[in-house]
Amino acid sequence: MKMDKQPTPLERFINGILPENPVYRQVLGMCPTLAVTNNLKGAMTMAGAVCFVLLCANVITSLIRDLLKPHLRIVVFTLTIATFVTIVDRFLAAYMYQMSKQLGPYVPLIIVNCIIICRCEVCASKQPVITAAADALGQSVGYAMALASIAFVREIMGTGMLFGFRVLPAVWPDWVIMILPPGAFLTLGLLMGLVNFVIMRLSSTNDKHAGGTA
Amino acid sequence: MNYLIDILLIAVSAALINNFVLYYFVGICPFIGVSRQIDMAVGMGLAVTFVMCIAAFLSWTVTTFILIPGALLSKLVAGFFVSPEAASKVDLTILSYIVYIFAIAASVQFVEMYVRRFFPALYKSFGVFLPLITTNCAILFACLTIMSHVAGVDNPADAWDLGRALTLAFFGGIGFTIAIVIMAGIREELDFCDIPQCMKGPAITLVVAGLLSMAFMGFTGVDSGLKKALKSRSVKNAALEMKIENYDVTSVPGTARAHMKNMIASKEHPCLS
Amino acid sequence: MNDSLNGKNSGKLRVKKNFMIQAWLVLFLSVFFGVSLAAVQLTLSPKIKANKLNETMKNVPGLLPGHYAPDALKISRRFLTAVSGGVKKSYSLFTAMSGKTLVGYVVKASGQGYSDSIDALIGLDASLSRITGVFILSQKETPGLGGKITDPEWRAQFIDKPTDRPLKVVKTGARASNEIDAITGATISSRSLCSIINQAVSDVKGILESNEKSSQQVTGVNENG
């Protein structure tokens, strides 16, 4: 049977950052993206947690990929992801208690985060461990960057602080709406529009060049 | 009577004030994906509500009777292996997330069978969205909220009973339905608008959701006002009697006693607020 | 014909083998994950409980009259239930003893704020006549407005307030001994906190002074903090 050319580990890694960015391109995992981007510290903690779970789930799924049959796939994915999320949640509660309280129920919600199930399904269940791990890392980096961009905007405009340190001068009237729910939706929507715009521009200049040389 | 007030407050809070979609950000994926037409949105909202109620029932039962330390079944089973003292300390809450996600998967299966049997046309129109309800954050969020009010309370006497849990689930689902139907109505109108290419799709939906969320912020404080109005009316007289006999006014010095009597009479006493 | 029959039989055998492998796989995974979760529970659970407890306990000494090193106090805790007109309200009461002398009490109370519930610790002196401090454990008020109830400077208003009269929130210029300045733009949050404090103080005073109402004694310290 002829196999299609599967993406290499490096390709998977780079894909995860912008072309297949989980938040801006695939529009997955919206729930924690909106909820924890009040401040940069929470956003980075969430990104770290997702990275751990994604990496472990991808590696384990890739190790057992030959033994998985279609009807059992979802059960195994769910069990794996739920276990690792429990581990991360307990770890945060033990060693970063305040952050765990701030993130609240959004850490367990990583279980139903579409990103992880999607990556397990699309990549880890079909490709060897190294590729799966590279894919996990790439997606995590992309996710972290997306979260950081949103949290940066929200925290600076909403409180004038970054990572808890006052950055803007006191004359800045804190736009409290930015750290409340509406601010989350608006920021993400507008940033998504911006990313779409940039990508459209890039692809249209590429087409122009290609069309010109053809 | 007080039980009904509590239920009413939980219902109003879950449906409007702390709306699952617009305040807690759960259930966004179907909110963006399925909200193109009103009838699809209504169907999705009601299906999610149904699944949420079943999942909440299952998770409350398992949490109360198996998972928390001192739960009935875990005490019974562990009682065969260790002393009763140790058996009542067996804490299985580490398994909660796994149990909840499988309870949700089971509920979705159940609802799928039900819908396929009794509403075949609806089942066909849902397509792949029905099994996807398993990954809907809103349902797991409802289960987690119930867990925090059962396993996470200081005083075991404060733990939620089944009625409160089901109220949260049902009205949380209703709130989700309200949000998704409003969004579907708006998007149907948006189809006729001239949106810039880069904003089409999820981007404009999120901006609209932001405006909706701002509108729903107007509900903040409704439950505290409601609580004050309902509770003061139902307990005013009882509190009056109770507190007067409790504040043994003979033991309080002269002017303070008169002052207190005045306060109770003019309803300024904090117990009456 | 024979070939297809053989093919069918070997196909059935393959399906059965697959089924066996699947079952073993799920079993193995469940055991593996179960063991790792049990290990996590055993190692991390005490730490988490300690965290939960410390969160309340580490704020208790700061709310009591006088200055004490945290180790110098013996703090015991019990649950109180105040019943009035069918409404049950639960409190956690922390009693602080230094040696044989009673230093004071700290009450953990919660109630409805503007947005969501507010959890607060209220310090009372040994005679229950003065409030010696207020600490906000958790609140979900509007950040920048109602959220300012956690501000230490604003909370310092509560220190040395008498408990014979309920506290009242005024918008500007608190003068009388039972008046509190509201936070600008957050009158409802300020009022909610005051009413939580008033209710808690009056309930606890009523219970401790009469000792007749229903109260549950829990010796030692509860796991959940």
Determine the residue among C57, C202, C213, C221 to mutate to test chain B binding: the one whose Cβ has the most chain B Cβ atoms within 10 Å: C202
* 8 Å CB contact between B108 and B20: no
Distance from C-alpha of A114 to C-alpha of A53, rounded to nearest angstrom: 13
Query: By a Cβ cutoff of 8 Å, what residues of chain C touch chain B?
Result: 37-38, 40-41, 45, 79, 81, 84-87, 90, 92, 108, 112-116, 164-166, 188, 192, 195, 198-199, 202, 206, 210, 216, 222-225
In this predicted structure, what is the pLDDT of residue B212? 92
Tokens of A37: 């981007």
Count of CB atoms situated within 10 Å of the CB of A184:
27
C12-45 per-position pLDDT tens digit: 776 677 778 878 888 888 899 999 999 998 898 8
Q: How far is C48 from chain A (nearest CA, A)?
A: 5
Closest to C225 measured CA to CA, from C61, C56, C17: C56
pLDDT value for B234: 59
Task: Provide the token pair at B197.
Answer: 């290419």
Instruction: State how far the alpha carbon of C120 is from the alpha carbons of C110, C134, C183, C192, C194, in Å.
Output: 6, 7, 17, 11, 11
Chain segment C87-130, per-residue pLDDT in tens: 677 888 888 888 788 888 888 988 888 877 888 999 888 888 88
CA max distance for chain A: 68
pLDDT of B247 > 50? The answer is: no
* pLDDT, averaged across chain C: 80
Are the beta carbons of B242 and C85 closer than 8 angstroms? Answer: yes
Q: Which of C25, C36, C45 sits opposite A64 (nearest CB)?
A: C25
Q: Which residues of B touch A (CB under 8 A)?
A: 22-29, 32, 94-95, 97-98, 101-102, 105, 134-137, 140-141, 144-145, 148, 196-199, 202-211, 213-214, 217
Instruction: Look at the alpha carbons of B183, B188, B194, B199 in this order and tell me if their dihedral is positive or negative.
Output: positive
Cβ distance of B235 and C86 shorter than 8 Å: yes
Helix (H) or strand (E) holding B109: helix B96-118
Task: State the smallest CA–CA distance between residue B238 and chain C in angstroms.
Answer: 5
Residue B252 DSSP class: S
CB atoms within 10 A of CB C164: 16
- Which alpha helices (H) appear in chain A, and where do they start and end? 9-17, 30-35, 40-63, 70-95, 97-103, 114-119, 129-159, 181-213
| Whether the Cβ atoms of residue C120 and residue C196 lie closer than 8 Å to each other | yes
Domain ranges for chain A: 9-152
What's the number of CA atoms in the CB half-sphere (13 Å) around residue B5? 17
CA A191, CA B191: separation in Å to the nearest integer?
21
Q: Is the pLDDT of residue C150 over 50?
A: yes
**Predicted pLDDT at A38:** 87
C94-C100-C102 Cα angle (round to 5): 40
Enumerate residues 6+ apart whose C-beta is below 8 A from A45.
Answer: A36, A92, A96, A99, A103
Calculate how close chain A gets to B209, using CA atoms only, in Å: 6
Residue A214: what pLDDT?
44
CA C71/CA B157 separation, integer angstroms: 31
Rounded-to-integer distance, Cα B153 and Cα A121, Å: 38
Confirm whether the ipTM is greater than 0.85.
yes
Average confidence (pLDDT) over B166-176? 95
CB of B8 closer than 8 Å to CB of A14: no
Whether pTM exceeds 0.90: no
- Structure tokens that stand for C64 in this block: 């009591």
